[in-house]
């Protein structure tokens, strides 16, 4: 897909596929083109080039069929503040052609499912951020569609509300929905997505399962914490020739990327020779943060 706004190219040939029943995370920094991609896929924007099919329908050629197959939960809780949670859900049910009684029944069910039954009769303006988000998601599920788009579903939420929402998204995956979500949080993509598509400057820079992406950043990293934190720099210079070391003074660690278990012995040997007492040493997979920085760091 290609999408330009004046001189700015928001989507520069971004291309990916999502299987039925898969949860795919579009991951990228602010301005990478994630929301633009979602807006093209949900027929809000017309692409300037390329093609996109959602549930088998062309977004340009047959937007009505696309709209019948999708639900969009945008970046902001798109709700009527002066109406109650229940009324909001009934309205969206009715707009999706449920009868009045079906819409009411469905609204009651969804309020219960999203732990909002007690607040159902209150105006949405009295809701917390987490409650609004849950209601927003509920509004997208009034009539289940095969495809669900979630644009930054947890941006601005506190950690507890975030993990609640993650639980909801996992349930949706278990229900067999196809979910495309965007996020700036690596942890979120790691937690929720079967597959991650990393987007930067309007094109795909990497794609794969969270594990595959971590693999790409190289093998395991060795993390050393000396007992005497004053000797961090000394540790770093001792290991300098083995790879690109990273000193973290806050955590009191020196990280050496791409260390196989074999090199671990030489690391420990050198430290021992110089009499550096080690409080902790571990091998770990790189975090998605490291992968992400490696993939997008050069350009952004």
| Phi-psi label, residue 146: left if phi above 0, alpha if psi -120 to 50, beta otherwise | alpha
Tell me which stretch binds another protein (CB under 8 A): 18-26, 77-85, 203-211, 243-251: 77-85
Q: Does residue 82 interact with another protein by CB under 8 A? A: yes
6-13 long-range contacts (CB < 8 A, ≥24 apart) are: 9/202, 10/36, 10/202, 11/36, 11/37, 11/40, 11/47, 11/50, 11/202, 11/203, 12/201, 12/202, 12/203, 13/49, 13/50, 13/202, 13/203
**Residues of this chain, 120-159, that bind another protein according to CB under 8 A:** 139
**Cα-flanking dihedrals φ and ψ of residue 148, to 5°?**
-125, 130
**Which residue from 16, 29, 31, 44 is in contact with another protein, where contact means CB under 8 A?**
44
Question: What are the start-end ranges of the H helices in the chain?
Answer: 34-41, 63-69, 85-95, 100-113, 129-140, 159-174, 186-192, 210-216, 232-239, 261-273, 288-296
Under the criterion CB under 8 A, does residue 49 sit at the interface with another protein? no
* Residue 55 within binding range of another protein, rule CB under 8 A: no
The nearest distance, CB 35 to another protein, in angstroms, is 10
Rounded to a whole number of angstroms, the minimum distance from the CB of residue 93 to another protein is 10
Task: Pick the binder of another protein from 25, 74, 130, 210 (CB under 8 A).
Answer: 74
Rounded to a whole number of angstroms, the minimum distance from the CB of residue 289 to another protein is 29
Q: Does 91 bind another protein (CB under 8 A)?
A: yes
Nearer to another protein, 79 or 213 (CB): 79
Residue 96 within binding range of another protein, rule CB under 8 A:
yes
Among the listed residues 23, 27, 79, 196, the single contact to another protein using CB under 8 A? 79
Residue 193: which of 23, 34, 21, 22 has the closest Cα?
23
Binding site for another protein (CB under 8 A): 39, 42-46, 63-64, 67-68, 70-72, 74-83, 87, 91-92, 94-97, 139
């Amino acid at each position: 897909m290609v999408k330009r706004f004046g001189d700015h190219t928001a989507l520069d040939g971004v291309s990916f596929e999502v299987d039925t029943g898969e949860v795919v995370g579009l991951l990228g920094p602010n301005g990478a083109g994630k929301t633009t991609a979602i807006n093209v896929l949900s027929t809000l924007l017309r692409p300037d080039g390329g093609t996109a099919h959602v549930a088998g329908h062309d977004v340009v050629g047959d937007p009505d069929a696309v709209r019948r197959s999708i639900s969009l939960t945008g970046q902001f809780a798109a709700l009527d503040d002066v109406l109650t949670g229940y009324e909001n859900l009934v309205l969206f049910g009715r707009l999706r052609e449920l009868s009045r009684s079906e819409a009411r029944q469905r609204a009651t069910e969804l309020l219960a499912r999203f732990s909002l039954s007690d607040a159902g009769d209150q105006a949405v303006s009295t809701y917390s951020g987490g409650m609004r988000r849950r209601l927003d998601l509920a509004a997208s599920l009034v009539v289940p569609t095969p495809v669900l788009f979630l644009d930054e579903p947890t941006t601005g939420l506190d950690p507890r509300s975030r993990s609640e929402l993650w639980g909801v998204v996992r349930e949706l995956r278990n229900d067999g929905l196809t979910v495309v979500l965007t996020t700036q949080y690596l942890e979120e993509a790691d937690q929720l997505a079967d597959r991650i598509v990393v987007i930067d400057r309007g094109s795909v820079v990497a794609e794969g399962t969270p594990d595959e992406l971590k693999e790409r950043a190289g093998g395991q990293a060795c993390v050393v914490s000396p007992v005497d934190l004053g000797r961090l720099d000394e540790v770093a210079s001792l290991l300098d020739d083995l790879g690109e070391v990273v000193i973290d003074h806050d955590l009191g660690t020196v990280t050496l990327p791409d260390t196989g278990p074999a090199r671990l012995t030489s690391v420990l040997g050198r430290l021992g020779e110089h009499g550096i007492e080690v409080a902790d040493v571990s091998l770990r997979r790189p975090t998605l943060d490291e992968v992400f920085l490696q993939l997008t760091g050069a350009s952004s």
